[in-house]
Amino acid sequence: MEPVRRFLDYVDGLSARELVQKAVYLMAGLAAAVVVAGSLMMRSILSDIPSIDKLDEYTPSLTTYVYDINNQVIAEFSVEKRAILPLSKIPVDMQNAVIAMEDQNFFRHWGISPRGIIRAQLRNIIAHRRAAGGSTITQQLSRGIFLKPEKAYTRKIKEIVLALQIERNFSKQEILALYLNQIYFGSGVYGVQSASKLYFGKDVSEMTLGECALLTGLIPSPERYSPFNNPERALQRRKLVLQRMMAENYITPKEAAAAEAESVPTEKSTLFASHAAYFVEYVRQQLEPKYGVTQLWKGGLKIYTTLDLTMQVPAEDIMEKYLAKYDADAAKMPRPEEEKSGEKKDDDAVEKSTPSLQGAFVVLDTRTGAIKAMIGGRNYRDSKFNRVTQAVRQAGSTFKPFVWMSALMSGYTPASIVEDSPMAYYYDGKDWRLLEGATDQYAIDLAIQPFVGNKDFKIWVPNNFDSKFRGRITLRQGLEQSRNLASIFLVTRVGPTLVADVAHRAGIKRNLEAVPSIGLGTSLVVPLEMTSAFSTFANGGIHVEPFGVLKVTDNQGRMLEEAVPDETESFSPQLSYVLSYMMKGVVQRGTGSYASRLKRPLAGKTGTSQDSKDMWFIGMTPDLTAGAWMGYDDFMSLPMKDWTGGGTVVPWWTEIMETLLKDQPVRDFPVPDGIVFVSIDQDTGKLALPACKKKILEAFIAGTEPKEFCDVQH
């Protein structure tokens, strides 16, 4: 008590003036201390406040869109679904609805609303929690772009300071545009454009008054007020927005009533096509290394591709229809292990143990190499393995056109005679060599008898699919009927190295083993390369690299890249035409005759690989080249022994192409200079006489046509 008594005695001894003076000094000291403390606290709070100079350069995470050839959206790449629009492209109703609900005095205040802040804080005190924020649109913008999502008084101070700075440096129109483009609307979408796409499946410019009001009602709590989660609550919010708009004289009661009568969406719009997933991934794998993950997924690029959804969609449906039917047929066949044991499994067990057939289909623009359709498998969700670009399979007889081109380059003509007769090869330790004199099965058996059981002596005896031999046939007949031994005969004469070189020049990129069996398509190839190689023949010998991206622009519309066809003159127009003309016979009379129902000029080649593990058909018109493949991913043989490429793949290839070509003009392959047409006898390859019953108009390079007339008595 002694210090207190001394202080009171001291005060009593002071005059009134001295007492006032001392009080003033004390108050001034306390005020200075408060100012210093407040300054230090504000300095601490504002020390890490971001600079609004960055707002000029503000680039939010934008959605990258992938378009087809007709500017239809195929897919999107995005972390956040967002699009940026100028204010002029956002409906006035949307602007007014947001101002009416979020900030009625937006065009009158200078960034903050003191009355709103005080009112919000009183509500917080009454509620005993930080609930209402009282933020203006400018404050919400500063918070959404610059600050972390936390409820704290320090953040509110930063928000106010930033709002004041933004108002001082940007116009009201700029602030409103930024706000409308970055506000969150739920389900991962930001901005009114993406929200309009998600909720209504339309461009923001097409939104009605009711739709503008519905979106505005979502802003405080998008999930709580979502029409997908709670339609009744969404309707109440929309009604509230319309009432506020009437109160601000933005709309009339009649307009509000009409907007209230509009229905609300009950499910998310199917914004983007669910087709061409394999193609989209093909595009991503090309562009992501070039532009980087951030630019591709957040940069708002526009990727314009060569794909045509009007071709892609029916192709997917038709291929699936046929492969599902083949699956059902295969399930009825006994498995190899069942045939051995004689026991048949029950249907459920068979269904579980039988893998699904897979397929691949690709369409190229013959002249440019543009990919018009691509199906890498039956279901991208089940398997992301793209069989068009990644499957490495045996080509089977679809490889034979490379053998026939090699023959044409070596002086053969469509009328040249080749042998479809038995033959055998032996391996001398360095190379495979023809067993001379072994021209029939009996002679082959005699020749190899001494070496049976010798592990150092290897024998290869090729055969035809039907195990029959037709003897001497024309080059054309050998291709049309896909005669294996005729192909081996040609490989022996022209050399397997030339055949491999021709395939590479046509468009095959994989290494090919230059051995006699190359003529049977035992080498491994990729469907896209095979289809591209065939298009080289249809394109007059000019190879064009397949491509899927036409151009890429940034979010400002600036061109980043534009495709230019990559062309290489691989073969002469004359040789290419003669080969294509022979391949037309495959469709007209040969193994691909099912496709002749298209009733248009069409060239192609079927293929069935060793042990029926792969089924192929690649067909071409002057405008489109399409390749189809079917098989099991685990390289299991197809169960039906009579299944071939001509009997399985050609039917669904044909049905697809019937749809794709229905609006295309009927054109034939253009005839280059230096080609002559001569009527010949199909069996002898010589000039036809009136008595010849099997005549054909054959194409020859001028000077190579037959000079002798048919000498066979018919």
| Active-site residue list | 102, 397
Surface-to-core class of residue 80, CB atoms within 10 Å of its CB (0-12 exposed, 13-18 middle, 19+ buried): middle
Q: Which of 303, 301, 300, 302 is nearest to 82 (CA)?
A: 300
Measure the CA–CA gap between 709 and 684, rounded to whole angstroms.
Answer: 9
Using the Cα atoms of residue 451, residue 454, residue 460 and residue 465 in order, give the sign of their dihedral. Answer: positive
User: Which residues 6+ apart lie within 8 Å of 447 measured at CB?
Assistant: 424, 435, 437, 438
User: Hey, what's the torsion of the CAs at 163, 167, 168, 174, to 10 degrees?
Assistant: 130
Rounded Cα gap, residues 90 and 3, in angstroms? 74
- Cβ-contact 259, 213 below 8 angstroms: yes
Of 579, 573, 622, the C-alpha closest to 601 is 622
Query: What dihedral do alpha carbons 399, 402, 404, 410 form, nearest 10°?
Result: -150
3-state secondary structure of 419: strand
Backbone angles phi, psi at 550, to 5 degrees: -80, -50
Burial class (CB in 10 A: 0-12, 13-18, 19+), 179: buried
**H or E element that contains 479:** helix 475-480
* Pairing, β 471-474 against β 417-420: antiparallel
Region class of 612: left (phi > 0), else alpha (psi between -120 and 50), else beta: left
Closest CA to 412 of 403, 420, 400: 403
Q: Three-class SS of residue 306?
A: coil
C-alpha 556/C-alpha 103 separation (Å) is 30
663: helix, coil or strand?
A: coil
Q: Could you count the other beta carbons within 10 Å of the beta carbon of residue 161?
A: 18
- Count the neighbouring beta carbons within 10 Å of the beta carbon of residue 430: 6
Task: Enter the tokens of residue 543.
Answer: 């190879």
Whole-Å CA distances, 147 to 139, 163, 222, 284: 11, 12, 20, 33
The whole-angstrom separation of Cα 394 and Cα 408 is 24
Ramachandran angles phi, psi of 699, nearest 5°: -95, 135
Two tokens, residue 372: 């018009």
Identify the H or E element spanning 583: helix 573-588
Which residues, including other chains, have CB under 8 Å from residue 211's CB and lie 6 or more apart?
A: 196, 199, 200, 262
Structural tokens at position 677: 């047409």
SS3 468: coil
Task: Write out the DSSP string of 588-628.
Answer: HTSTTGGGGGG-S--EEEEEE-GGG-EEEEEEE-SSEEEEE
